[in-house]
Structure 1
């Protein structure tokens, strides 16, 4: 399995892609679809990884939009076997950890997916402009970028 969309029903994917386009009209539906697909692959990797994983700023846009589609997100997390929390923090490119991005990309490949390299940009690279503007830190009591509902699983600064 190499394509994240196998985890989303076509109508669900279309709704999420449409919302990404509405929030980022300059992207177009093809790029929005790639972002959603990569966010799904990222979440699948997080669900299976014991190590901290982080999304790129671009992939995070897809994750944010998935979360706003609560029924779709709940169904996806159920398929993945765990609910993946999201704790945004103010954007701070100085906290960028390239090793965390590399580890995340490797985990996506290990989960059986192909990485869309163009979507894993450094946080200050605005080649692909998106509305998402947060970074991710270690889990707290409300959870984080992790499959662990206690918030102490795979998470870390990007």
Structure 2
């Protein structure tokens, strides 16, 4: 199983300071008004870790709500997002919501697997972005909002 095509320090360097600042501002404005710059930087890093691993593994993965907010903001910057995916060497990483699988228990299991896969790839998990078992809602509004290996690169 391929875990990731790039090392964590390489992946983090794929987004410049201007794009990072724009993503933080976007998430703050649209989702999370009390987001600090420090927490925003950490959120960008967690999104990068998720995407770097999700794009390179055949495992089904799901972002936490907070990571998903940064991913949504990034996808709206289509040219930058596509270039980022290309620079990861993964091909375009599609966001594939699954509105029919809302199951909090399964969602928590999926998040735990996602955290484990990201950590196994050498990325650090920030607990403020990945809820622990049973402590908060497992994912966004749908437990099945995932990256799908079937649609990568298409």
* Pair in the same fold by TM > 0.5: yes
Partner of 1:137: 144
Match of 2:94, SS state, is: coil
Q: How many residues align?
A: 141
How big is the shift at 1:124?
A: 8.0
Q: Considering only aligned residues, what root-mean-square deviation do their CA atoms show, in Å?
A: 2.9
Structure 2 partner of 1:20: 27
Contact 1:5 1:13 in 2 (8 A): no
| Cα distance between partner residues in 2 of 1:124 and 1:34 | 20
Deviations 1:63-85 (A, max 9, x none): 11111111221111111221111
Is the CA contact 2:94–2:147 (under 8 Å) kept in the aligned structure 1? yes
Secondary structure, in 3 states, of the residue corresponding to 2:13?
A: helix
Match of 2:136 in 1: 125
In 1, the alpha carbon distance for the partners of 2:41 and 2:96 equals: 24
| In 1, Cα distance between equivalents of 2:16 and 2:82 | 13
